[in-house]
Amino acid sequence: MADTVTDSLTGSLRTSLLWSRVDTQEVGAITDKGSGGALYPITDGHAAGQADLIFCDTREIAADTVEMIDLSDISQTRLGVVVPFTFTEIRCVRVTNNSTTVGKNLLFGVDPGRPTLVHAANIGPGSEFVTINHIDSWIVTNDNKEIFICNPNATSITYSLYLLGTAYD
């Protein structure tokens, strides 16, 4: 009798912003309160709002280094086993700069030849960058399979990387 292995992935990404601003005038105070946000549920599969792979890893990037992440060939070790990932679509990317030192920024989506001049996001210490394409996803091709992350600082930075997507199209 053959062993059968199945898996399924469910989850959600929630974005939220709450505020309360009080403006005190000579005649009294005006309070502006509000909120905004969205919930992106993820179910198992490869259609809109679906994914079947999640990669999450805490990594250290050396000083003055550009790191290349190959979405079609990335792996991580879990419980002593190397787990390979081959993304064909990306639905969500989250990068968290775990540094708490003022000025230790991490650059995401850099041009490897000009990383401090051309980048998609400058992620400050204790901050994060999140992007989601819940309906369409980003198709991974040979032309765009590499994500570059840069540490322009004089010391290393620890960061967390989360990738949510599919292994097939």
Longest dimension (CA), the chain: 82
Tens of pLDDT along 90-112? 999 999 999 999 999 999 999 98
Report the sign of the C-alpha dihedral through residues 142, 143, 145, 151, in that order: positive
Domain-embedded: residue 66: yes
Residue 127 lies in a domain: yes
Q: Write the CATH number for 150.
A: 2.60.120.770
Inside any domain, residue 23: no
Q: Confidence band (pLDDT; 50, 70, 90) for 5?
A: low
CB atoms within 10 A of CB 127: 15
Within-domain flag for 118: yes
Instruction: Tokens for 124, please give them.
Output: 């400050």
Q: Which residues contact 19 (CB under 8 A, 6 or more apart)?
A: 32, 33, 34, 35
Question: How many domains does the chain divide into?
Answer: 1
Residue 140 lies in a domain: yes
What does the pLDDT read at residue 93? 96
Residue 123 lies in a domain: yes
Q: Cα(161)–Cα(61) distance, rounded to whole angstroms?
A: 12
Q: What is the model's pTM?
A: 0.87
